[in-house]
Amino acid sequence: MSERSTRCWAERLLGEGEPPDPRFTLANERTFLAWIRTSLALLGGGIAVEALAVNTFAPPLRMGMALSLMLASLLISVGACVRWLRVERALRQRRSLPLPTLVPLLTLACVSAALMLAVVLWPRWHG
């Protein structure tokens, strides 16, 4: 890929504006990678629930938990990419940074998983 085609692709993707200080771009990339690590952890958790919790949960519940974790992983991966792009555009245009929509999503996923586990395991602990 030539330098000109790379520049055109970047301009289409990132929009108008001046390239920001490289430190800010690198910080944005580190944040993106942190979200991707979180997404991979949720994906691994979903796989682990399905593979290792065979004797702990009924099959429909186990599948629901695994799919929920995997769906959260997917949404966080997509959200991380969208957030990286929105922040990079804001930096280039010297605008305020957008609020992270991933934080409420991750909070909702964690609270839902904790409530599901509490409802399922409470009778075993106090039965």
* One-letter identity of residue 105: L
Among 43, 113, 50, smallest CA distance to 75 is for 43
The pTM score is 0.78
* Residue 42 CB partners (closer than 8 Å, separation 6+): 69, 70, 72, 73, 76, 109
pLDDT tens digits in sequence order for the chain, 127 residues long: 566 666 677 778 887 889 899 999 999 999 999 999 999 999 999 999 999 988 888 888 889 889 988 998 999 999 999 999 999 999 999 999 998 888 887 788 788 878 877 887 777 777 6
Amino acid 74 reads L
